[in-house]
Amino acid sequence: MKRIHTNMPQTPSGARLPCSERLDLLRNRVSLLDGQDKAIMTTYLERGNSMCQIAQLAGVTESCIARRIRKLTDRLVDGLYVACLRNRRRFTRLEMTIARDYFLAGLSIREIAAKRRSTYYRIRKTLIRIRQILETPGLQTSSRGLGNSAQTDRNLRSVNTSLHT
């Protein structure tokens, strides 16, 4: 194992959240996921199973599970879908479902268009509109500075479940 030189900081300057905060954030936001993604992340984070064990259960390779956990972690910590939930009054129900499919599930525009029985053009225009709203001054979209308390994430989960019903 390589050691970090004593002059070098252990973490990049402001690039990432500290590990414990990142884990807490992930545990709070796992409930935003559905189906197999939720099961994989719960098994990994809460039950502490290794990627090898999860791969055997899922019937795929360990590298496939590692990539999937990495992508899910990045999407959950990124916070773009959470920012959409916090500003849900500015979006229609369809825009929220498109935001969920794109920012949280990681579907492509083409896959969303097929799933929602819409055109590629309409989905692309909707995503442009969503990004414009998220980029307006005064909106906080990053996971830092949003007051990531457990209560706030619980409120977002309840909003998310009400959108699905």
Q: Shortest CA distance to 76 belongs to which of 60, 100, 98?
A: 100
- Which range (2-6, 58-62, 101-105) has the least confidence? 2-6
- What confidence score (pLDDT) does residue 119 get? 96
Give the domains, in start order, of the chain with CATH numbers: 19-78 (1.10.10), 79-142 (1.10.10)
- What confidence score (pLDDT) does residue 120 get? 97
Angle between helices 51-58 and 62-78 (to 10 degrees): 110
Neighbours of 83 (CB within 10 A): 21
Encoded tokens for 5: 């030189």
pTM above 0.75, yes or no: no
7 and 135 Cβ atoms separated by less than 8 Å:
no
Range picked from 5-14, 19-28, 93-102 for highest mean pLDDT:
93-102
What pLDDT, in 10s, does the model give residues 13-59?
A: 445 567 778 888 888 888 888 888 888 998 888 888 888 998 998 89
Phi first, then psi: give them for residue 163, nearest 5 degrees: -70, -25
What pLDDT, in 10s, does the model give residues 126-164?
A: 999 999 999 987 765 544 444 444 444 555 455 455 545
Question: Residue 93's pLDDT band (boundaries 50, 70, 90)?
Answer: very high
- Span 48-71, average pLDDT: 90
- What confidence score (pLDDT) does residue 10 get? 43
Residue 155 half-sphere exposure toward CB, CA atoms < 13 A? 11
- What confidence score (pLDDT) does residue 76 get? 87
Kindly tell me if the per-residue pLDDT of 3 is higher than 90.
no
- What confidence score (pLDDT) does residue 15 get? 53
CA distances from 134 to 3, 26, 85, 88, 91 (A): 40, 21, 11, 11, 11
